[in-house]
Amino acid sequence: MDLEVDRQHLSTVRIVDAASAALQPGEARLRVRRFALTANNITYAVFGDMMQYWNFFPAGPADDGVNWGRVPVWGFADVVESTVGELAEGTRVYGYLPMSHELVVQPGRFDDRGFVDMAAHRAPMAAAYNRYVFCDEDPIYDADREPHQMVLYPLFFTSFMIDDVLDDTGQLPGTVVISSASAKTAIGAAYLLSRREGAHVVGLTSARNAEFVRELGCYHEVLTYDALHELPSGPASYVDIAGDSAVTRAVHEHYADSLKYSMIVGGTHWDGPPAVPGDLPGPTPEFFFAPSQIAKRSKEWGRDGLEARTVDAWGAYRDWVDGWLHFERSHGAAGVEHTYQQLLAGRVDPRVGHVCTMEDE
């Protein structure tokens, strides 16, 4: 069973219930146990064509003329069938998954911590998304805190890379303005930036979420979208997680040449105007792609060095979010679709992390 969306009309959803195909030599079947749904997954769908997110889990053929796609998610799966000697049935893994009951992979490039799906259609994609980690060998895995890892760790890793890029490109110390400040990627970035000496973090959010964002304590200032004229004077950098061209233009026009750097990370305001308006004053916005910075730092620091830095930062952050975040669970195709539609419409409580399974309760 798969949940698929119309790639041109993201609120149009269908449930496909197809029989499992027999495994071929070199394949393994993963049973998707549970996964997270966040605004990050909406970003995957919004930028699905441009960033090729639809290519990870191609939808089956359709006879209705609709271009269907499967939105990727992060979660946990169990190996329930395997033709690969190195991968035993019963192994639990963490990684990139479709909103489905199962996923057939072609495991290869094994090491002591996991494997890579070597399927031909995934070969051109970023390596960070093709790797599956053995939970028993994962330094951040905690069976009692699987929801934290599903909901927050992919976003926190992106947040870590945003913080690192701003430092790596010489934007810090200084003012950093972040849109969609209640989004968990934004919160993670603000948490990390606020701990840097000389960083001044400004969060932009809706009036509905302003009180929540202020209470977090990781933003030095919080402004609603109708108060952008109150932004502090420059110089500054802009991290766009909303993907709203009107907000982007307002920030660029406020700072003009005092804006040193502008990056586009997400598209939480997916139904607004295109993310990059033309003729902006200041720097041209750059699309942020976390795997590029991951590859850079892996080369410079080594995989173990990068992992040590992120694991250390993650432990403190995970404990901090327990003060304001709780988890809700959605079961079955109908429950997952409802949660997806709520996220798409922006009708979710930022204090909630959504954990889903296509399996009935």
CATH number, domain with residue 251: 3.40.50.720
The answer to whether residue 61 is domain-embedded is yes
Tokens of 326: 């709780």
The answer to whether residue 50 is domain-embedded is yes
Share of the chain above pLDDT 90, in %: 80
Average pLDDT in the 48-62 region? 88
- Measured CA to CA, the distance from residue 27 to residue 5 in angstroms comes to 26
The answer to whether residue 313 is domain-embedded is no
Q: What is the pLDDT of residue 161?
A: 94
Last residue of a domain, one of 271, 291, 311: 291
Are residue 49 and residue 93 in the same domain, yes or no?
yes
Q: What is the pLDDT of residue 50?
A: 84
Handedness of CA 94, 60, 120, 291 (dihedral sign): negative
Are residue 174 and residue 218 in the same domain, yes or no?
yes
Are residue 168 and residue 105 in the same domain, yes or no?
no
Element (H, E) at 342: helix 332-344
Considering its fold, how many domains does the chain have in total? Answer: 2
Last residue of a domain, one of 291, 309, 332: 291
pLDDT digits (tens, 9 = 90+) for 56-74: 999 977 777 889 999 999 9
Q: What is the pLDDT of residue 277?
A: 59
- In the chain the beta strands, taken as DSSP E runs, fall at 2-6, 9-16, 28-37, 68-69, 72-82, 92-98, 102-105, 107-111, 114-117, 131-134, 174-178, 199-205, 221-224, 236-240, 259-264, 286-287, 326-331, 352-357
In this structure, are residues 239 and 268 in contact, taking their beta carbons and an 8 Å threshold? Answer: no
Last residue of a domain, one of 240, 267, 291: 291
The answer to whether residue 218 is domain-embedded is yes
The answer to whether residue 302 is domain-embedded is no
Lowest-pLDDT choice from 257-271, 295-309, 336-350? 257-271
Are residue 112 and residue 14 in the same domain, yes or no?
yes
Are residue 184 and residue 274 in the same domain, yes or no?
yes
Are residue 125 and residue 163 in the same domain, yes or no?
no
The answer to whether residue 165 is domain-embedded is yes
* Owning domain of residue 208: 155-291
Are residue 186 and residue 256 in the same domain, yes or no?
yes
The answer to whether residue 101 is domain-embedded is yes
Q: Which residues pair with 92 in a beta bridge?
A: 78
DSSP string, 178-246: ESSTTSHHHHHHHHHHTTSTTEEEEEEE-TTTHHHHHHH---SEEEEGGGGGGPPPSSEEEEESS--HH
| CATH code of 61's domain | 3.90.180.10
Are residue 164 and residue 102 in the same domain, yes or no?
no
Are residue 192 and residue 278 in the same domain, yes or no?
yes
Tokens of 228: 């952008």
Are residue 220 and residue 96 in the same domain, yes or no?
no
- Measured CA to CA, the distance from residue 253 to residue 281 in angstroms comes to 6
The answer to whether residue 269 is domain-embedded is yes
In this structure, are residues 94 and 138 in contact, taking their beta carbons and an 8 Å threshold? Answer: yes
Are residue 206 and residue 265 in the same domain, yes or no?
yes
pLDDT digits (tens, 9 = 90+) for 140-186: 999 999 999 999 998 999 999 999 999 999 999 999 999 999 999 99
3-state secondary structure of 249: helix
Are residue 41 and residue 84 in the same domain, yes or no?
yes
